[in-house]
Amino acid sequence: MNTVPSFDSILAPAVRQPLSRTVRFGILGTTRSSPCGVANFSAALSEALSAHGSQVGVVRVADESPTPDDDGVVGELVSGSAESVAACAATLNNSDVAVIHFDHHVY
């Protein structure tokens, strides 16, 4: 009789191997200064990744308001600024993994 493998049995043979270096994550989204779900998720993701040894830099989606001192902010994407688009793209390209958060009300 053939049995269907369970999810756990499929994963059991996999062996986690440590990475040889720190993984760098770039997150494009809003930050805690913006009271919204994307900001909450970005903060929680950033904290969890950092807690597991990753480097995390956040590119904040900004409007014309001044930037508050948010932890981990490495750049700002300012609405209508081609210069900030280029700078943010360069910043995110320096990451190993870029996480882009999207919400119709943010961009």
pTM tops 0.85, yes or no: no
Q: Which two tokens stand for residue 53?
A: 């040894």
Percent of the chain, pLDDT > 70?
Answer: 64
pLDDT for position 54: 92
Residue 38 three-state SS: helix
pLDDT for position 43: 85
Report the distance separating Cα 96 and Cα 91, nearest Å.
11
pLDDT for position 42: 85
In tens, the pLDDT along 68-102 reads 666 678 888 888 889 999 999 999 999 999 999 87
